[in-house]
Amino acid sequence: MDDNTTSVIVEQPNNTLGTVSLVTGILAAVFFLCCPYLAVILGLAALICGIIGMQRQQKYSLVGIILGAVGIVLGIIFAIIGQLLFSELFNVIQQKMYRY
């Protein structure tokens, strides 16, 4: 037996950051309606992971960046709308309490 064989190590592509960016971007785009603050946090995570993934030329990074940005924008809009509605509701309740 001759042991002159050489082994070749094939490195698999690493798409971890691109996939994390995609998943957190999807979650941000879904959670903007019920949890806008969580959507902004997840959108920021998607944006950061997507930018780093783009620098490393990983798949799904661009989609994660886009979904993260959508989640951030919608989260901020719905957080503002929610605060305005809550403050208006609070004012109405407060006015009704002082009438009696």
Chunked mean pLDDT (size 10), the chain, 100 residues: 70 84 92 89 94 89 92 93 84 75
SS3 assignment, position 41: helix
Are residues 53 and 24 in contact, defined by beta-carbon separation less than 8 angstroms? no
What's the Cα-to-Cα distance from 48 to each of 2, 32, 66, 100, rounded to whole Å? 52, 18, 11, 53
Of the candidates 61, 77, 78, the one whose C-alpha atom is nearest the C-alpha of residue 23 is 61
**Residue 87 within a domain:** yes
pLDDT at 48: 94
pLDDT at 91: 80
pLDDT at 74: 93
pTM over 0.85: no
pLDDT at 97: 77
Q: Give CA angle at 63 (32, 74), nearest 5°.
A: 20
Are residues 36 and 78 in contact, defined by beta-carbon separation less than 8 angstroms? yes
Q: How many domains does the chain have?
A: 1
**Residue 5 within a domain:** no
**Residue 1 within a domain:** no
Q: Give CA angle at 80 (30, 63), nearest 5°.
A: 35
pLDDT at 3: 64
**Residue 92 within a domain:** yes
In the block, residue with structure tokens 């979650």: 27
**Residue 26 within a domain:** yes
Structure tokens at 31: 């959670």
Q: Which domain holds residue 71?
A: 16-99
pLDDT at 100: 61
pLDDT at 50: 93
